[in-house]
Amino acid sequence: MTGPLRTLFVLLLLALPPWRPALAQETVDLAAPFTAEDLSIQDRRFLQVALAFEGTLDAPIIPDWPPGAEAAMHGFARTAYGTAPSALHMAALAQDLTDRIARDGWTWRHLDTLGLSLLFPATTATPAPAKGAFTVWDHGGSSLRYRFATLSRVEAQALHRDTVALQAEGGTAIRTRDASLAVTRITGADGTLRHVRSDYIDGAWSTVVLSAEASDRALLGAVAASIAPGLAAPLAVTRGGRLDRTRKAAAPLLATLDRLPQDAPTPNEAALPQPHPPRAASTGSGFYVSAEGHVLTNAHVTDDCITIRVDGLPARLLAEATDSDLALLLSDGPAPAVATFSEAPARLNSDVTALGYPLSHILGGMNVTRGAVSANTGLSGDIATMQITAPVQPGNSGGPLIGADGSVVGVVVAKLDALSIADQLRDIPQNVNFAVRAEVAARFLAAQGISPRHAAPHAALPPEDLAQRAAAFTAFVECDPR
């Protein structure tokens, strides 16, 4: 990014802090027994990945907490600490994986040509010479090797058959087969581990081959467990969630503690330094995308939240995508109404309406503003966002952007700081605001298992009817940050 573009990007305001009341401090009991009951889906997946890297989980990583994950958690705590799992052990797992991510750049990478996602070390991976139809990558910090290819049925069958033939004498190949999936795992005569997976997607067999030396068994197992069709949610801890709060509370201990001796008591929060005084509450907007109470908003609205409320009811963060600044919440109450997404992208100069709760401590309620799509792309040509002229203020973030027919065409996300731009360019920009495109938001929801309602464009509604309909599914989001 060039200097001027970088300057403009810095001037993009995602949210402004409104007036905030003080919050009571929250303590974290690190000695409390571990439970996954109130962890977000994103945090459950994060812990499963951490357990897979530890070598105690050898099962597909799913958006739940299956019995195998519970058993792996107990196995980890028993082996590493000699005790039953506690909140401290959960924090240690999360920190270990966070350190791995910082070191190797582990992320869930989507292989567009295969239609699969898997764990990939973006920082330390190095390309190797291709082998036939296979693209090859090596993990720079271990013996792990990736190979990717799209194969015909005959080619895939031959590959799995040839892999079984490499099984060391006396060993047993692990094989899984059904109409759309084939998995083969063997230990070769030279001790090398091989894991071959083929998924039938769009008329071809999307194939991943993993190999590693026996010393890197856990590493290969973690990557193998992560392979799944479609897009995967980000590999990150839910900001402000219980796992994040516990990890932060345990940080002083984890910095000096490797593994507890088996006869050592588990420390509690009394041994920790007192936390910094918390920041006061902030507010934003969102809108209901399912009858069960799922709410879409911006990730920066829920940034570092301890507790979240939607229309006054408790809510929890299920997933977020920082690259598109989107977050999915689940409210304790059902949706009063559910938004419908437009099947067609918003056209240039089409009428749009923004709804939300800007400057809630001053304005005190729902606010509706009207404008048009002024550019089909966002800042610096970003194709995931679009520029709009509908005026927005701090607190509008996460609210719906509605087309003339009442369907969602975007999610309000940002505005330019007019005074800062004026200082740079000696001119004051007028109504330069941005929204995440509806199709981007719909893909994010689909990746979380939410099927948003869609409708083909139809006749424009009277402005009053449009506002009344959209106000029913627009939500007020409150965040109590750390």
Query: Burial letters for 214-253: b for 16+ Cβ neighbours within 10 Å, e otherwise?
Result: eebebbbbbbbbbbbeebbbbbbbbbbbbbbbbbbbbeeb
For residue 421, what pLDDT is reported? 39
pTM here? 0.52
Q: What is the enclosing helix (H) or strand (E) of 340?
A: strand 340-342
In the Cβ-directed half-sphere of 339, how many Cα atoms lie within 13 Å? 35
DSSP H or E segment with residue 351: strand 351-356
pLDDT at 274: 39
What's the pLDDT at 231? Answer: 81
User: What CA–CA distances, in Å, run from 269 to 58, 73, 377, 392, 481?
Assistant: 32, 21, 48, 43, 20
Tokens 């330390």 locate to: 124
Contact 478, 279 (CB under 8 A): no
Calpha distance 242→244 (Å, rounded): 5
**Which residue, 336, 344, 307, 100, is CA-closest to 223?**
100
- What pLDDT is recorded for position 16? 36
CB 39 within 8 A of CB 48: no
Average confidence (pLDDT) per 10 residues, the chain, 482 residues: 37 38 60 90 93 91 88 88 89 92 90 92 92 93 95 94 89 84 92 94 95 94 93 82 90 61 39 42 89 93 87 90 90 92 93 88 76 88 89 88 96 63 44 88 93 89 92 91 68
Q: Which pLDDT does position 164 carry in this prediction? A: 92
Distance CA 148, CA 136 (A): 7
Query: Which pLDDT value is given to residue 26?
Result: 57
Q: What's the count of helices (H) and strands (E) in the chain, helices before strands? A: 11, 25
Residue appearing with tokens 């505005």: 415
Q: Write out the two tokens for 277.
A: 């005084």
Specify the 3-state DSSP secondary structure of 19: coil
How far is residue 399's CA from residue 407's CA, in Å, rounded to a whole number? 13
pLDDT for the residue numbered 190: 87
Residue 387 three-state SS: strand
Question: Which residue type occupies 366?
Answer: M
Q: Bridge-partner residues for 126, per DSSP?
A: 138
**Helix, strand, or coil here: 100?**
helix
**Number of Cβ within a 10 Å radius of residue 131:** 11
Question: Cβ(223)–Cβ(137) under 8 Å?
Answer: no
